[in-house]
């Protein structure tokens, strides 16, 4: 990473061990997300993460809070990356664009591309790959009902990796996906920061980011996106918004350029 905040996180976790004992329950490993009106936020910072340092001590979630060089705060969680999203209203102008990037079927794609299968079910990634291809066929044919049904199946199947009551339960496979996914999303953010210093992060949420960017920078931002796709082996879908309003990371409303909300 070029950003010193992202590097600080990397230096905290790169030499850690992961706790993924087969019998472990993940109920204490939910993503801790900062909300302005969350009275229990400080308590969440002391909950355990899946990381253990070389001295054997479990790292609290509060040690995985990132502040980048621009002052934006992110939570590196178990489920996915979130920023402490600024509250406000953004409008597209002649000079500034609201540009959203989502990774296509992010976590299922990571399962397939990197063969992150439960140790007791090694054919999992192959089956997920077939379902992904089937979803793409329906998407190209604009069969929305079938495409959305397969999206639900894929995401639900991945979710079972962290369900201790499921036959698919394997924390190692789960953490392999979510931790690498978050690092890759930070890499995408880092690359955009470098090519477009005047871009502002609006929303970072698990499988995508939304930025407020100078229109003159869009070609070089898209070049960075293409480079990231080659590195990560993931696909990106982009969209422009006319207006974006948000209260928190998970509470927002956007008006697309096509007029859809």
Give the residues across from 240 on adjacent strands.
99
| pLDDT attached to residue 160 | 92
Q: What share of residues in the chain are helix, strand, coil (percent, to 5)? A: 40, 25, 35
| pLDDT attached to residue 30 | 46
Q: Give the closest residue to 22 by CA, choosing from 131, 173, 128, 179.
A: 173
| pLDDT attached to residue 20 | 67
Distance spanning both ends of the chain, measured CA to CA: 35
| pLDDT attached to residue 150 | 95
Look up residue 252 and give its DSSP letter.
E
| pLDDT attached to residue 251 | 92
| pLDDT attached to residue 34 | 47
| pLDDT attached to residue 62 | 82
Q: Give the closest residue to 79 by CA, choosing from 190, 177, 202.
A: 177
| pLDDT attached to residue 63 | 86
pTM score over 0.85: yes
CB 75 within 8 A of CB 223: no
C-alpha to C-alpha distances, 13 to 51, 52, 58, 75, 121, nearest whole angstrom: 7, 9, 11, 14, 28
Torsion angle, CA of 204/209/212/216, rounded to 10 degrees?
Answer: 150
| pLDDT attached to residue 176 | 92
| pLDDT attached to residue 18 | 82
| pLDDT attached to residue 255 | 97
pLDDT per residue of the chain (261 residues) written in tens, 0 to 9: 999 999 999 998 988 888 766 544 444 444 444 455 556 656 666 677 888 888 888 888 888 999 999 999 999 987 899 999 999 999 999 999 999 999 999 999 999 999 999 989 999 999 999 999 999 999 999 999 999 999 999 999 999 998 878 899 888 899 999 999 999 999 999 999 999 999 999 999 999 999 999 999 999 999 999 999 999 999 999 999 999 999 998 899 999 999 999
């Amino acid at each position: 990473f070029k950003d010193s905040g992202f590097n600080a996180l990397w230096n905290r976790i790169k030499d850690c061990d992961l706790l993924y004992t087969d019998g472990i329950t993940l109920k204490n490993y939910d993503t801790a997300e900062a909300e302005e009106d969350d009275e229990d936020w400080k308590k969440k910072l002391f909950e355990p993460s899946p990381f253990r340092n070389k001295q054997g001590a479990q790292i609290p979630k509060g040690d995985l809070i990132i502040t980048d060089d621009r002052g934006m705060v992110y939570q590196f969680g178990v489920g996915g990356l979130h920023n402490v999203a600024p509250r406000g209203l953004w409008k597209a102008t002649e000079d500034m664009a609201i540009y959203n990037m989502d990774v296509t079927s992010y976590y299922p794609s990571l399962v397939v591309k990197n063969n992150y299968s439960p140790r007791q079910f090694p054919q999992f990634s192959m089956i997920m790959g077939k379902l992904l291809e089937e979803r793409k066929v329906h998407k190209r044919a604009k069969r929305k009902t079938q495409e959305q049904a397969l999206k639900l199946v894929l995401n639900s199947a991945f979710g079972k990796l962290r369900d201790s009551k499921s036959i698919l339960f394997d924390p190692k496979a789960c953490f392999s996906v979510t931790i690498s996914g978050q690092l890759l999303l930070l890499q995408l953010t880092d690359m955009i920061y470098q090519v477009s210093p005047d871009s502002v992060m609006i929303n970072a949420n698990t499988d995508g980011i939304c930025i407020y960017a100078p229109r003159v920078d869009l070609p070089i931002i898209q070049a960075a996106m293409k480079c990231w796709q080659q590195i990560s082996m993931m696909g990106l879908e982009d969209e422009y918004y006319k207006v974006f309003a948000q209260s928190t990371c998970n509470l927002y409303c956007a008006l697309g350029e096509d007029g859809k909300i």
